[in-house]
Amino acid sequence: MSVNNDDILFTNNDKHYVYEETYDLDSKRRRALLEIDHANFQWFHIRACVVSGVGFFTDAYDLFVINLVSTMLGYTYFDKSGTLPPNIDMGLKISAACGTLIGQIFFGWSADRYGRKKIYGLELSIMVIATIGSALCSDSFAITLWGSLMFWRFILGIGIGGDYPLSAVITSEFATIKRRGAMMSAVFAMQGFGILTAAIISVVTLTIFRDKINHNLEYIDCVWRIVLGFGVVPTITALYFRLTIPETPRYTMDILQDIEQAAHDINIIMSKDKEGALTRDKPTYAVETPRPTWEDFKNYFSQWKNGKLLIGTSVSWFVLDVAFYGIGLNNTIILQATGFANNPHPYDALWNMSVGNIIINMLGTVPGYWITVFLIDKWGRKTIQLMGFTVLTILFLILGFAYDYILRQPMVLFIILFSLCQLFLNFGPNVTTFVVPGEIFPTRYRSTGHGISAASGKFGAILAQAGFAQSRNLGGTDHFVPHLIQIFALFMFFGIFSTLLIPETKNQSLEELSNEDQIGFVRRQNRQRNVV
């Protein structure tokens, strides 16, 4: 249907078109939102997905590469079992998660306070510095290698944390209603390629150093530094494009309160106008919109219809990450416990470990992400999340209670079950817990709400990693691993009920989902506004 944007506007409540004069700023805002929501899919949307997606590729690479590097560090600095002392292993894996939690909250708030464009790219700059610092760590009189690594992993985590709310919100605010779920999922799905690439780089680097490692194990020191440092390559690639991405029109309208500039930006994005400064041939009036203040934040989320959404997204992400990171950061330990990555020679053990991670990611992780991309706008977010939590509850119960029996069978049975867990983590709540918080909050709290939800998830990841590290050897080496998997099943069961608190968001605009009346959302003040 052809829409004349000079005459027609979209209302939130009854979804009918109403004719108003073009000088009405409130109706002009709604016309602009209509144009974003129903635009044709074009190059700008692809660019937004790629620019955001490369960041998530790097995030996953940097977060999960420690799963491989920790074993390499064990061979390099400790004994031939490739096992780090529990406190060091836990510190290396938790340090990045702690930084990520802080980054998600801080950058989530900052993007609502200062703007998406001003903040976007800063988090990648932090990641570049921290990745280089991590790869160059060494022992010294004043500080140990482990202290240095944990410090740089913590700083790296802050940058990674900032990427979550910023990429989610920027993608959702530029996306069309029809493809918003697919666009946000595609951004997040780059995590799968990041995790896979970490294992591939490990295999390639090990192959290059094979003869040297077989002659002298100290060459593993070169391998882990190269594998860790490779994360800087995609980060630098994406940095320029992030610094040049425009401010989202929704932020310009609702927070900067400049309806005319937002409409001008939309025309440029949709390739209707040439790039250039806005020419204002009429007086520009100051407008009033709800402001992101602490008092307004409390008033908004104190209403149960809004507060339950934040509870639902936060709890769902928390219980999901207990299992996702409990499994994901310990793939190597689980593969060793099953015997797949056990080998008396360090090179062969590291090779099997890396190949095992590639197999699991190819069979479960990567397909799970992309199945969600193709189905999320058809099935809906809530449906996929409920299905995922339900199936994962069943799979973890089977894997946990039949663990010893499964290990006595051919290894292919364990690989299939473990890959199915990875599949339904990603064709399920791992993607939807990222998508939904980027849709259901109003513009002034969208990034903050997403950051709080994501930080709740990282808190779950920290608890899971601490619990895994401290309890997996209770009763003997890796004796408690099946019981940990049973605990993961319990958390997946809780996720079914937290999902009931969130709405279905497919085929709805961000403004409809905000639980705020859009008629009269913008009010013009009587004074003129000075525009530089």
- Which regions in the chain score pLDDT beneath 50? 1-23, 281, 283, 526-532
Place of tokens 């402001």: 291
Torsion angles phi and psi, residue 479, rounded to 5: -70, -30
pLDDT of residue 338: 55
Select from 496, 481, 321, 320 the least CA-distant residue to 401: 481
What would the 3-class secondary structure string for 150-193 be? HHHHHHHHHHHHHHHHHHHHHHHHHCCCCCHHHHHHHHHHHHHH
pLDDT of residue 81: 67
Beta-carbon contacts of residue 330 (< 8 Å; ≥ 6 apart): 67, 465, 468, 472
pLDDT of residue 173: 92
pLDDT of residue 28: 78
Q: What is the spatial distance between Cα 423 and Cα 395, in angstroms, rounded to a whole number?
A: 11
Residue 476, Ramachandran bin (φ over 0: left; ψ between -120 and 50: alpha; else beta) = left
Q: Are the C-beta atoms of residues 250 and 511 closer than 8 Å to each other?
A: no
Adjacent-strand bridge partners of 9: 18
Q: 404-408, long-range: CB within 8 Å, 24+ apart, which pairs?
A: 404/482, 407/338, 407/339
Pick the CATH number of 42-274+291-506 from 3.30.360.10, 2.60.40.10, 3.30.70.1560, 1.20.1250.20: 1.20.1250.20
Could you give the maximum distance between any two Cα atoms of the chain, in Å? 81
pLDDT of residue 38: 86
